[in-house]
Amino acid sequence: MHPRYELVVGLEVHVQLKTRSKIFCACATDFGAPPNANTCPVCLALPGALPVLNAHAVQLAVRTALALECTVHRASVFARKNYFYPDLPKGYQISQFDQPIATGGRLLIGVRDDGTPRAIGVTRAHMEEDAGKSVHDRYVSATAIDLNRAGTPLVEIVSEPDLRSAAEAREYCQRLKEILEYIEVSDANMEEGSLRVDANVSVRPHGATTLGTKTEIKNMNSFSGVERAIAVEFERQCALLDAGERVVQQTMLWDADRHQVRPARSKEGSHDYRYFPDPDLPPLVLTAAYIEEERRALPELPAARRARLQGEYALTPYDAGVLTANRPLANYFEAVAQAHGDGKVAANWVMGEVLAYLNSAGLPITAFRVPAAELGALLGLVRDGTVSNSAAKKIFARMVQGAGTPAAIAEREGLTQVSDDASLSAWVDAAWTAHPEEVRRLVGGEKKLLGVLVGAVMKESAGRADPRRVNQLLSAKLAEASRA
């Protein structure tokens, strides 16, 4: 928060659609292929090669727009965006300009003072092709061109300038990534370039309604980088205005190593690109039935699922947020909860033991070896008193190694819980005798030492004693000792 100026941010997010082939040709979109391996006359812009629109890319773009509550237009037009870069072989990019596939959506973030989320407007979502990649080698003063990405299908999502802090911009990106992954239109991997964010940043005096001169920040390769870059640019613009200088409209590059933004070039306006309809591509026309079919095919979206989990399983907002971070994790949790019958217990185990194991192993939930039904069965053994909670954790560690069902592991490794008083009394007597000082202080009134003796009994029994019955037997023994 600056005492004089307000931050205004709009984001342009380029999302690579999860198709097997490019938007206007049959070349593969595989990441990591040898340079220029995934190319053909169309994406190399050889004379006479004509584009053919990828129907799957259209489907994923429509799905994206619907998930963002946009109006999907029955007709949209592809245009040529003219500019000259070494990695743009045609000398223009096929994009959509004044007639995009969708407009007028929103994305919900944060919580306002009245407890409702804040709606960030989505101006438009349009389809376009990606450019290639320039690889600079400073040691030999040369630049190589890799055109594998040229023609990769993108949907660009442009927000309204509704964001008022760097933290809000970061959350917007995170929520958008969640949605994209839930509806399976993109893997949204920033490291591989399948999700790229440009930020339009301006400042204005508090209370002003007109927008200030904006700059565009590029080269942000993480959500934390988006937040830091916007914060640094806000400080830079405020300092310029405080010094009586003006903000120049230009493109800025984020330098994460130096924690600074630096000018790259003057910022172009739409007129600089000389847009005109692409004569090789007819207007894209969609039927109302097609759009409605895609709307019905959408899965439950993250915000709706968080709200439902809180109500259906009595979860806290934090727990629901963790468990809906991605769709496979949410599916796994619900399957465990249904198998066990207690959503809170299932949530504790999934957020605790399951996520701890996955994080340590560097695995996604889709690679987890323990079926939800088997984890539910393990939790059932704890609920029924067959195994203790500590024994259940030992069994879980064997389950992730593929050692068998929880009941079989418990029986084979002697982890079933002992509840008969004869065995329990023997362990209680042994612990009582082995800790005379703790017993003396307990009888003298230090009630907290009862837990120490319970722990001693559990150790004596190798974790097999029923802790509830152990507590009862120790309390009875304490009452008897106090009367003596």
CA–CA distances in Å: residue 38 to residues 32, 53, 85, 87, 151: 10, 17, 20, 14, 10
Tokens of 399: 């389950």
| N-terminal to C-terminal alpha carbon distance within the chain | 69
Considering only CA atoms, which of 173, 197, 206, 159 is closest in space to residue 9? Answer: 159
CA–CA distances in Å: residue 407 to residues 63, 404, 467: 44, 8, 20
Per-residue DSSP letter, 267: P
Output the CA angle 245-162-189, nearest 5 degrees.
100
372 vs 297: CA distance, rounded Å: 25
97 vs 274: CA distance, rounded Å: 11
Tokens of 100: 């995009």
| Residue 458, C-beta contacts closer than 8 angstroms, at least 6 positions apart | 388, 390, 465, 467, 470
| Residue 479, C-beta contacts closer than 8 angstroms, at least 6 positions apart | none
153 vs 158: CA distance, rounded Å: 16
452 vs 60: CA distance, rounded Å: 60
Q: What is the pLDDT of residue 14?
A: 97
16 vs 206: CA distance, rounded Å: 37
Q: How far is CA 67 from the centre of its chain?
A: 16
Tokens of 192: 């591989």
Determine the residue type at 340. Answer: H
Torsion (CA) 208, 211, 212, 213 in degrees, nearest 10: -170
Q: What is the pLDDT of residue 270?
A: 65
369 vs 363: CA distance, rounded Å: 10
Q: What is the pLDDT along the chain (484 residues), one digit of tens a residue?
A: 788 999 999 999 999 999 999 999 999 999 989 999 999 999 999 999 999 999 999 999 999 999 999 999 999 999 999 988 889 999 999 999 999 999 999 999 987 777 788 999 999 999 999 999 988 877 777 889 999 999 999 999 999 999 999 999 999 999 999 999 999 999 999 988 899 999 999 999 999 999 999 999 998 989 999 999 999 999 999 999 999 999 999 999 999 999 999 998 766 666 788 999 999 999 999 999 999 999 999 999 999 999 999 999 999 999 999 999 999 999 999 999 999 999 999 999 999 999 999 999 999 999 999 999 999 999 999 998 888 888 899 999 999 998 899 999 998 988 887 777 888 888 888 888 888 888 888 778 878 888 888 888 888 887 777 777 888 888 887 777 777 6
180 vs 66: CA distance, rounded Å: 11
Name all domains of the chain by residue range, CATH numbers in brackets. Answer: 5-291 (no CATH), 298-412 (no CATH), 421-483 (1.10.10.410)
Q: What is the pLDDT of residue 360?
A: 95
Strands (E), 258-350: 260-266, 276-277, 284-285
Q: What is the pLDDT of residue 422?
A: 83
The answer to whether 457 and 412 are in contact (CB under 8 A) is no
Q: What is the pLDDT of residue 269?
A: 64
342 vs 395: CA distance, rounded Å: 20
Task: Provide DSSP, 141-183.
Answer: TEEEEE-SSTT-EEEEEEE-S-B-SHHHHHHHHHHHHHHHHHT
